[in-house]
A and B are shown apart, each in its own frame.
Chain A
Amino acid sequence: ETGVTQSPTHLIKTRGQQVTLRCSSQSGHNTVSWYQQALGQGPQFIFQYYREEENGRGNFPPRFSGLQFPNYSSELNVNALELDDSALYLCASSFDRGQFGEQYFGPGTRLTVT
């Protein structure tokens, strides 16, 4: 167990709706990165939050947004859901942006968009 928790475990939404996913980072970590993992694929980097600010972003549209709170937990928000947003959403907790260092992944949230 990594100490990184995510909620909810599973979620079903319909196209056009909005969703919020949550991640609690490991104690002592100040960085949370979010990844999208489609079925049969490797995780794809969405963005990273470091000390409550977005610190880097992958090739995802603006309807993917996030927050990081003073306790370093984080939220991923997705607006105007599309069918292709169906995936496992993973958060990874690390210290100081996770460069040259281990990133601890949570169990993920399985999002299904119908």
Chain B
Amino acid sequence: GESVGLHLPTLSVQEGDNSIINCAYSNSASDYFIWYKQESGKGPQFIIDIRSNMDKRQGQRVTVLLNKTVKHLSLQIAATQPGDSAVYFCAEQDAGGTSYGKLTFGQGTILTVHP
């Protein structure tokens, strides 16, 4: 069945470093991908998205890379700050193949930023 998984469950970095969070997906029909940040006691917060016709998309301090050949997604955070500490989820959607916007989430990576 379809699934989205992460290579590393935890990531610890120093403030100011760049962070890279990785994600593997198995549904080759997925055509839309999203990264969410979830802080303790809150719901997931949208960070950045990318469609399958793109390889890279940049936002403010964040970049998402998509490699469809190996079904791999990554989130790069530049100049990581303590406020970036949270759980990060990748999610995928077979938006073109279904009539509803179901998101399939991975297990999550805990990012800890040390001052």
Contacts and interface: CB of A to CB of B under 8 A. Distances in A.
A107 interface: yes
B73 to A, nearest CB: 14
A45 B103 contact: yes
Nearest to B89: A42
B107 A56 contact: no
Contact of B105 (A44, A104, A107, A108): A44
Nearest to B108: A42
Contact of A90 (B34, B44, B46, B100): B44
B69 interface: no
Interface residues of B, number: 28
Nearest to B36: A105
B100 A48 contact: yes
Interface of B: 4, 32, 34, 36, 41-46, 49, 51, 89, 91, 93, 95-96, 98-108
B100 A105 contact: no
A102 B49 contact: yes
Interface of A: 2, 4, 31, 33, 35, 40-45, 48, 50, 55-56, 58, 90, 92, 94, 97-108
A92 B103 CA distance: 10
A48 B103 CA distance: 11
A48 B105 contact: no
A101 B106 CA distance: 19
Which 8 pairs show the lowest CB-CB distances between chains A and B?
Answer: A98-B101, A56-B100, A42-B105, A105-B43, A99-B95, A99-B101, A48-B100, A45-B102
